[in-house]
Structure 1
């Protein structure tokens, strides 16, 4: 695999995962269809009252969180590069009678597809690892926000991505270096699936994230680190309280997630 083909390789993988994810227990699709808000409490608190807010949701997968925001009263535009995911998101939007919009494009091309500025840009959990260039990512966020608009960004902590899949060894660089080429069987949503997938990803340090946002006039208003994950998407976890997961051998010794709230500075 060559890194310049990362978009095609990763898109194929995510297109192939959509149907599996929808049918998995991980995404609790039946509960979602019956009204469940899929956003974690941390994210809802950081977003604040979204009634009447225009929200751009980057890398939205098949739209559960986007549609949850719509249920909470926001006017939402979801972006994802997977044709299969966006098709499913649009179908769910119609089925639920909501008013979200979904656009299929590479996240870097977002500004070519939107025609307005947003009150909030939201993106969360397992997103930036698929992107080689955070400067371009921050350009999209800055370009999509209204003056004094808000960024709400939650992500798995880069310390987690340093380890091999079994959390036995520090295997990868904390700082972005060479692309990470992997071949995996199954998916975090259903590890028993025998499908094989190829991926190309990058690790991004916290300093890289902060500097990319600051460079593009995003003022950091709040930053939090968490010693747990909302999602049981890693190996060898324990659910120490309902809905909170840690790597069993580490307990609370390593960070699992972080959250950033930023604001576009009006120049």
Structure 2
């Protein structure tokens, strides 16, 4: 791993105990209810469909709540992450809550060597692409994981969201940060994670990259996949701005009468064959 990846690894290792103890990840809910799904997978389930018997891989799986949820939809699931501590939590959760999940330790760039096999579904969840310097390289690796006829599923924060200044106190939507991919990352220092609780991140520095929507779509096409669905969404699972309002289903959106912006996007693509 390069310097950027090592810095991010230290950050994610620091987050693991905070996230594992948080109500937001709610590990106890998976133990109490064998049908419980993560909020992200529950939202995506109508598009994912019945995964029974399908070989599923979930790169950048963190502590495995989405990964376990994919297994509860019937998939034969493999989770991949570069954080040993995250995988320790993920393995323990799967062993205690079920169904079984296989986990492999690898950074995204190392997946072709660590996981030389193919799958029916690659699931990439929210908060994955911003940790990667090249969306084109990511797309090639994801395409390499797919068997002929296999499907890539991606839902991610919209790149315009990451370009906004979220710390303004005047309720204006102002583009401050890069929208398109840049050679050098943005560096952030944040001692508090996105979950509840007052735990402090011991390694608070992160390095992150933007990837424009067209850049991401073109990367998927250039990797040889056929795009079958592309949607932009106006709701989020978290309150990105203090003045966002909560919807009836517990998600977050801009108030009525304000500028309507895409906050997330999702795409699906199939490998020919």
* TM-score (structure 2 length as normaliser): 0.90
Contact 2:22–2:196 (Cα < 8 Å) also in 1:
yes
Q: 1:30: Cα distance to partner?
A: 1.9
Counterpart-to-counterpart distance in 2, 1:101 and 1:233: 32
Question: Does residue 1:170 correspond to 2:175, yes or no?
Answer: yes
Q: Quick one: structure 1 residues 247 and 255, their matched pair in 2 at CA, closer, same or farther if it must change by over 3 Å?
A: same
Q: 1:239: Cα distance to partner?
A: 0.9
Deviates more, 1:49-58 or 1:166-175: 166-175
Equivalences for residues 1-267 of structure 1 within 5 A: 4-35=2-33, 36-38=36-38, 39-166=40-167, 168=172, 169-177=174-182, 178-190=184-196, 192-195=198-201, 197-229=204-236, 231-236=237-242, 237-248=244-255, 253-266=260-273
Counterpart-to-counterpart distance in 1, 2:265 and 2:93: 29
Counterpart-to-counterpart distance in 2, 1:20 and 1:245: 23
Q: Quick one: structure 1 residues 233 and 33, their matched pair in 2 at CA, closer, same or farther if it must change by over 3 Å?
A: farther
Deviates more, 1:63-72 or 1:161-170: 161-170
Corresponding pairs, count: 263
Contact 1:56–1:120 (Cα < 8 Å) also in 2:
yes
Structure 2: any 5+ residue segments left out of the alignment?
none
* TM-score (structure 1 length as normaliser): 0.92
Q: 1:29: Cα distance to partner?
A: 2.0
Counterpart-to-counterpart distance in 2, 1:155 and 1:252: 20
Counterpart-to-counterpart distance in 2, 1:262 and 1:150: 6
Query: Which structure: greater strand fraction?
Result: 1
Counterpart-to-counterpart distance in 1, 2:155 and 2:205: 25
